[in-house]
Amino acid sequence: MMIGIDPKIKKKKPEGYFNLDEDLTQEWIEEHQAFLVQEMRQKIEKKFQKENEKLVADGQREMKATELEERLQAANELEEKYETENKTKKVKPEGKGATLEKMEESITKLDQRIETLLVQAEDKESNKEVALGTSKIVSLWIGYLSKALLTTTLELYRSSTHSCLLQEIWCSNRQIFLQDPT
């Protein structure tokens, strides 16, 4: 769009400024455009169906199929626009009062959003590793505490003063004590 407004801008910007990102292929762009058109059609159809259901519920007549076709014209126009852009490899400037300054500002905002999303994705990935590490630490502590409890219980069991009481506890809970949590 910036080149559409001022073709000389290509020389003013650094080399590669207007090149597509390495991850973006023409095939992916066309698939994404088709997805956007299909999504727009689905939204229009759902809204049309809801409005018809509301009209029927209110005792009025449904809208005609021609109304839906008129609404779907917006999706058809979007599809045609994408096809033209793909053939000519040029994007027409859109919006009210499209200027280079506004477009550069939009690019800056998008870059910031991308950077924020990358940081959030990185944080989320690192949190997964921390969570796994924490669960391993907890499980090791449980194993350590179980063995310490077993050792302490055995020592108390061997002492004559607590042997009767501990013998009851030991017999009723020996399966718990003998389990290896690791």
pLDDT at 147: 61
Q: Which residue has the tokens 């969570």?
A: 131
* Residues 82-118: b if buried by 16+ CB within 10 A, e if exposed: beeeeeeeeeebeeeebeeeebeeeeeeeeeeeeeee
Taking a C-beta distance cutoff of 8 angstroms, is the pair 31, 11 a contact? no
In the chain, domain spans: 2-95, 135-178
Any idea how long the chain is?
182
pLDDT at 176: 52
User: Along the chain (182 residues), what's the average pLDDT of each consecutive run of 10 residues?
Assistant: 81 81 86 95 95 91 91 94 89 79 88 91 78 62 60 52 50 52 52
Against a cut of 0.85, is the pTM above it?
A: no
| DSSP H/E element including 61 | none
